[in-house]
Structure 1
Amino acid sequence: MKKVTLVGKPGCHLCEVARDTVVRVCAETGAVWEEKDINQDQELYRLYWEQIPVVLVDGEQHDFWRVDPERLRRALVG
């Protein structure tokens, strides 16, 4: 089973849009997902602070800023 991680921060409009997409696509594909606050993790902040929201699939960066639902779906079922 694939695992999606959404890295974002509170109050981020793009993060809210990304969350909606991640929730919908994960529900359709059966993938699990989690959300991490970039402000609570120094390593995530160092890696991704200019790119949030960032979507990781099984720990590997998949998308940033805008999440393409079709591309995410392909990554999760492929």
Structure 2
Amino acid sequence: MVELMVRPGCGSCLRVEQQIRPIVADAGAQLRVVDVTASAGGELAVEFGDRVPVVVIDGEEFSCWEVDSEELAEELAAGGAEAQRRLT
């Protein structure tokens, strides 16, 4: 699961979403866009606040502000291969 932490009115967030959406789809993963300002108790806003956009893969922070498309594709491919090894 790939999560993109965003906040309303964030132009960089929209740009990164458009950048990573096809990469995530090509990897066969799911993208969940999360508005950090809408989290219960404001926990996500405190954690990610001014650092959005933040890409989180399987609960681990991958990048903030900028995303290297090639590194993201490699990370998703490696994660998929690792998951396949655990299943066999």
Q: TM-score, normalised by structure 2?
A: 0.81
Q: Which amino acid in 2 is paired with 1:19?
A: E
5+ residue gaps, structure 2, are: 79-88
Using the TM superposition, give the Cα deviation of residue 56 of structure 1 relative to its aligned residue in structure 2, in angstroms: 0.1
Higher normalized contact order (CA 8 Å, seq sep 6+, divided by chain length): 1
Equivalence for 1:77: 77
Q: Which amino acid in 2 is paired with 1:7?
A: M
Equivalence for 2:48: 48
Using the TM superposition, give the Cα deviation of residue 28 of structure 1 relative to its aligned residue in structure 2, in angstroms: 1.2
Q: Which has the higher helix share?
A: 2
Q: Which amino acid in 1 is paired with 2:57?
A: V
Q: Does 1:29 align with 2:54?
A: no
Q: CA-atom RMSD, angstroms?
A: 0.9
Equivalence for 1:61: 61
Residues in 1 aligned to 2:27 and 2:70: alpha-carbon distance in whole angstroms:
11
SS of 1:67 mapped into structure 2: coil
Q: TM-score, normalised by structure 1?
A: 0.91
Q: Which has the higher strand share?
A: 1
Residues in 1 aligned to 2:19 and 2:28: alpha-carbon distance in whole angstroms:
14
Q: Which 4+ residue blocks in structure 1 deviate beyond 4 angstroms?
A: none
Residues in 1 aligned to 2:74 and 2:44: alpha-carbon distance in whole angstroms:
25
5+ residue gaps, structure 1, are: none
Q: Percent sequence identity over matched residues?
A: 32
